[in-house]
Structure 1
Amino acid sequence: MNNSEAQAGAQSAVLQLSQVGKSYNHGLPTQVDVLNGIDLTVKPGEIVALVAPSGAGKSTLLHTAGLLDTPDRGTVRIAGQDLTGKSERRRTAVRRQDVGFVYQFHHLLAEFTALENIVLPQLANGISQAKAEARAQDLLARVGLKDRAGHRPAAMSGGEQQRVAFCRALANGPRLLLADEPTGNLDPGTADQVFAALMELVAATGMAALIATHNLELAQRMDRVVRLEGGQLHAGM
């Protein structure tokens, strides 16, 4: 690939990691390279599965991609912006606007309804109450939860709670969705339903998604699969 092709790829990518490295010591006599020269590009509308053995560093990779952690070396670009070395204020602004996170456990606010859990991040981003509620209602309808808008998390099933978590992650219209084992706490049938809802949301919005999962069957249903092993990424499982 020549320089002009590389630049064009960077401009079209939502997420681009270039030679990203992250090392830890943890009091050990030798340094552990958790990420070692990671190159990854995720384009709009693309859903990429990230598979890895336990402890291989997939959470570190997701946190670095989502600007929750800083790489020791290499560059992280989101929507063409090189955010390497930028201030925490700048990184927080990009993270709030352009990145959505979903985790294995939904982390919904127990005292608020499904609708309110989706409205709150929008209000924090300066959206009016009326627009935030309309957006929340639309997202809930897309995942089949229109009638559960007024329910608090305790009154919903695990699968319903996780679908609300997806909606909350997408509330501010991010360009990039990062999910860490989003169906890992669900039974197989519910996991399949939740994953289908996630796929529909991503397809409807055209965002880019990087989804870490141990479920190889679900991974195969995504656009492509990358495997993290020995600090490096490899194509396929």
Structure 2
Amino acid sequence: MSDQSQDLALDLSGIEKTYNKGKPSEVMVLRGATLSVKPGEVVALVAPSGAGKSTLLHIAGLLDTPDTGQVRLNGRDMNGLSDKARTEVRRADVGFIYQFHHLLPEFSALENIVIPQLANGADEATAKARAMDLLTRVGVGPRADHRPAALSGGEQQRVAFCRAMANAPRLLLADEPTGNLDPATSDQVFAALMDLVRATGLAALIATHNMELAARMDRIVRLDQGRVA
């Protein structure tokens, strides 16, 4: 293993993925995709719909496995890990943000950020303090005791960002994180996300159709015909 690989938060090499393998409906989504992200770097992943960016993010975040190729997180080889070990790495080191917030509707904003921390072994007082700090950073502190239904779309998505950051991950993966928001709200919410990422120094890979948002990141990579350009 090279020292360079050790220094990367995410290192994908030669990733291939085919769905419905061996069937008439076989679709090869990824064809040797290679991509790396350094700690503190925010990378935009741009691709047309159906190009495989969600698949790539799921493989990067250990929600799916490649047919061939290597996945390394923080210099550690993820290939061949048990499901239990993959779950532990994912819970501790990876944060996910989706286009829709997927917050638990029966819990408050604060509780939605406390729960993942408790699942990861934090005590309640520490979890609540961290949740409140994160909410305050993104401007939703005064709304901490509100349930998701009482929050605006932009507020809901900011809470989802905080939940993704709850366990202080080293890698953040986001799939169209502002895709369901109007342009003005999208701009504000994206700025909040970038502030949060910059303040924590983690690595982030953010899939987006929005070239204006992509231009505000450190680097843009394109997924085209199953390969990263």
Task: Using structure 2 for the length normalisation, give the TM-score.
Answer: 0.98
What CA RMSD, in Å, does the superposition of the two structures yield over aligned residues?
1.2
CA deviations on 1:171-209 (whole Å, 9 max, x unpaired) are 000000000000000000000000000000110001000
- Answering whether residue 147 of structure 2 is matched by residue 152 of structure 1, we say yes
1:196, 1:216 → 2: CA distance? 15
Report how many aligned residue pairs link the two structures.
Answer: 229
Corresponding residue number in structure 1 for 2:133: 138
| Contiguous gaps of at least 5 residues in structure 1 | 1-5
**1:162-181 correspondence to structure 2 within 5 Å:** 162-181=157-176
**1:40-189 correspondence to structure 2 within 5 Å:** 40-189=35-184
2:22, 2:30 → 1: CA distance? 18
CA deviations on 1:127-182 (whole Å, 9 max, x unpaired) are 00000000000000100111011111011000000000000000000000000000
CA displacement at 1:86 relative to structure 2? 1.0
1:28, 1:83 → 2: CA distance? 28
1:10, 1:225 → 2: CA distance? 20
Moved more, 132-141 or 31-40: 31-40
2:204, 2:42 → 1: CA distance? 5
Counterpart secondary structure, 1:135? helix
Corresponding residue number in structure 2 for 1:24: 19
CA displacement at 1:119 relative to structure 2? 0.2
Q: Sequence identity of aligned pairs in percent?
A: 70
Counterpart secondary structure, 1:198? helix
1:7, 1:62 → 2: CA distance? 24
CA displacement at 1:106 relative to structure 2? 0.1
Corresponding residue number in structure 1 for 2:10: 15
Task: Using structure 1 for the length normalisation, give the TM-score.
Answer: 0.94
CA deviations on 1:111-132 (whole Å, 9 max, x unpaired) are 1000000000000001000000
- Answering whether residue 186 of structure 2 is matched by residue 191 of structure 1, we say yes
1:26, 1:185 → 2: CA distance? 33
What code does the residue aligned with 1:37 have?
G
Corresponding residue number in structure 2 for 1:3: none
Corresponding residue number in structure 2 for 1:217: 212
CA deviations on 1:10-46 (whole Å, 9 max, x unpaired) are 1110000011111123785264221111111100110
Relative to structure 1, the CA distance from residue 73 to residue 27 in structure 2 (aligned partners, 3 Å threshold; closer, same or farther) is closer
1:204, 1:217 → 2: CA distance? 22
2:211, 2:23 → 1: CA distance? 33
| Contiguous gaps of at least 5 residues in structure 2 | none
